[in-house]
Chains A and B, each alone.
Chain A
Amino acid sequence: MLSSVDVETASLRRIVRNDISSNLQFDAIDEAFKDFRSAVSAILESNVNLLNEVPLHHDLHIEDLRKFMESQIRKDLSEDPLFEKGIEISKYSRNMTELMDSYFSEIFSFHQELKRELHSDIFSVSKMFLNSDLPLPFVKTLGDSFVAEIDYLEVFDKEARRERLDLIRYRSNRPKFERVCKTHNLWVKRFDEVRSKMEQERVKLIWYVDFNNSASVDDIFKDKSIKMSLMDRATLYGFIRGLQKQVSEMETLNAQKTEIISFLDYETDEGTEALLGMMQILGRYEGMQ
């Protein structure tokens, strides 16, 4: 749960980042290593491309928006320690034979931090929802997408812990070592493609709401009251449905690698009890209809 300090610093990640996973390679780098600058360029490109998929109101001009986004993204990334950490981990992942220990010593804490960011994202979206007349599916679908990403990180960590043992075992057995890396890359690729599409749909939805409630580029990404009257209802619901579809794909994939055991040690608290209490009442009511 977020603390009051976290609440003060919480902010919503509003761009496509693609910084969760990178391929495991066994040797020294055989392709140009993506340093900080080239990683920033790749992120800029994906975000600028995505801009074309979001309808804007007539006072916002795409060129102004593009310039604004470029400077915003550069600023955000340069101030983001997690982004830097992601680059460092991707460097380790490219030479697993030599740097495996560094990779595994960083990846789990990196994911812990990412999960905290995702909690903070849920909080920020909830605040956005509170200051709006947005429909409930907006906050619920975005919440579900952050949760599906948290689930993915947990699936990743569980698998990575198992793979680490295999890699340690096969350290001096090159073919088997390579096979573990390849198997990892194969399943991660499948998951990450879906996660990436989900992230894009999420960002598009957030952008559509934010851009169309901004009188000019200066208002973009600032706290504001969101009004449905400034948006086209059908377009908004189209974005929500697009995200729902991707969330459902991510959930289906996660379920394939989820074991019930991982959910069983939960502690009940006020939040759980509120939901359970409500379920009991509704279940009783509906079962008797």
Chain B
Amino acid sequence: MVGTKECSELSFGQVEGFFVDACVLLPHSIDSVKRSCLDFLRENASRCLLSSSVKSEAICLIEKSHSLILSELHSNLKPFLEKHEIRQLSNRHGRVVAQFFMERRRVWKKGFKSSIPREIVGVIENYCASRLHSLENGEKIDVDNFIALLITELTLKKRVLQGPFKGIRAIEVNPDASIASLIVLRTLLVNEMDAQHLASAVTFQLQNDKWVIFVTTDDTEILSREDKLFQIFALQCSSPEWASDYYVEMTKMKAPIEYFREIPKHSDEQKEFAGKIEKAIGIKIIG
């Protein structure tokens, strides 16, 4: 924890800002988490930074998700309804649409061993079902109009999801692969993209010799490894609720390189990290 790492000499203004994870910028299904992200962003928008890896992963995932649903509607749902000579849909066509998804599950299942395809079909099925059931009793809509409305809605929602990623200062960081690998190795992170984002923050922090705080709501992967990430890599991670407190604390600390150098007895893991950093960006942080 930051409070225990404070140095005797106070030097201020060495915090560059918050490296935000994509989950902070996307709507969360749990209301309290959503609220804490919104409060954090409202208060700290100007101090937030977005690494190129977080930005490109998020934009790419939004695009892929959009494409996947659109393809399914265009190339499969529409031909299926045509084959069954359904020209108009009402909220009483649930069974036909359900049959479509049953068939899709069967097709997708063939090529995969994991549950991924079932989950993907499930998401599209939930969406179509909710839109179909939202039709008024007695209301009929042409199949083309119905599907075109879904595509329109998804295109506008894509804009909403991508919006926050366009409004934050983006930072181009290209961390060396060895740093991300070391993070995976020493913290046992499962998601390699997360390791890439953390490596971006670590690299940026040392290149600029200014603290950054990695803000995320990801308990399972990142926050559960908060202590280890600070201990070895000197990267402070935080949930949005406490990020501002860490910010204040870190303004009282020495700059990251000096802080790292002055650790009384470096562990083997810290030495290994220092070696990799020196090789990757040419900055000596020990000795």
Q: Quick check: which of B38-46, B206-214, B240-248, B277-285 contacts chain A, the rest being far away? A: B38-46
Q: For the complex, would chain B's binding face be called helix, strand, loop or mixed by DSSP majority?
A: helix
Contact A123 B148 (CB under 8 A): yes
Known: A127-B148, A274-B126. A282 touches B160 (CB 8 A): no
B66 at the interface (CB under 8 A from A): yes
Q: How far is the CA of A78 from the CA of B287 in the complex (A)?
A: 78
Contact A271 B154 (CB under 8 A): yes
Contact A150 B159 (CB under 8 A): yes
Q: How far is the CA of A149 from the CA of B262 in the complex (A)?
A: 53
Q: For the complex, would chain A's binding face be called helix, strand, loop or mixed by DSSP majority?
A: helix
Point out the residues of chain A lying under 8 angstroms from B164, CB to CB: 260, 263-264
Which of B130, B155, B167 contacts A122 (CB under 8 A)? B155
Contact A4 B141 (CB under 8 A): yes
Contact B159 A260 (CB under 8 A): no
A213 at the interface (CB under 8 A from B): no
Point out the residues of chain A lying under 8 angstroms from B96, CB to CB: none
B13 at the interface (CB under 8 A from A): no
Of the listed residues A255, A259, A262, A281, the one surrounded by the most CB atoms of chain B closer than 10 A to its CB is A281
Interface size on B, residues (CB 8 A): 63
Q: How far is the CA of A185 from the CA of B71 in the complex (A)?
A: 42
Q: How far is the CA of A88 from the CA of B70 in the complex (A)?
A: 40
Kindly provide the distance from the CB of B193 to the nearest chain A CB, expressed in whole angstroms. 4
| Chain A, 225-246, CB within 8 A of any chain B CB | none
B86 at the interface (CB under 8 A from A): no
A278 at the interface (CB under 8 A from B): yes
B32 at the interface (CB under 8 A from A): no
B119 at the interface (CB under 8 A from A): yes
Point out the residues of chain B lying under 8 angstroms from A130, CB to CB: 74, 78, 144, 147-148, 151
Point out the residues of chain B lying under 8 angstroms from A261, CB to CB: 41-42, 45, 167
Contact B159 A136 (CB under 8 A): no
Q: How far is the CA of A202 from the CA of B116 in the complex (A)?
A: 36
Known A-B contacts: A126-B151, A264-B42, A283-B191. Give 16 more (CB < 8 A). Answer: A7-B149, A129-B151, A136-B74, A139-B70, A143-B158, A147-B156, A259-B167, A260-B25, A260-B164, A261-B41, A274-B124, A275-B62, A278-B68, A281-B119, A284-B191, A288-B191
Binding site for B on A (CB under 8 A): 1-2, 4, 7, 119, 122-124, 126-127, 129-131, 136, 139-140, 143, 146-147, 150-151, 251, 254-255, 258-264, 266, 268-279, 281-289
> What are 24 residue pairs bridging A and B, where the CB atoms are less than 8 Å apart in the complex?
A1-B156, A4-B139, A126-B148, A126-B151, A130-B78, A147-B159, A151-B159, A251-B166, A255-B167, A259-B45, A260-B168, A262-B163, A264-B38, A268-B27, A274-B127, A275-B65, A275-B161, A276-B26, A276-B27, A278-B64, A278-B65, A278-B68, A287-B191, A287-B194
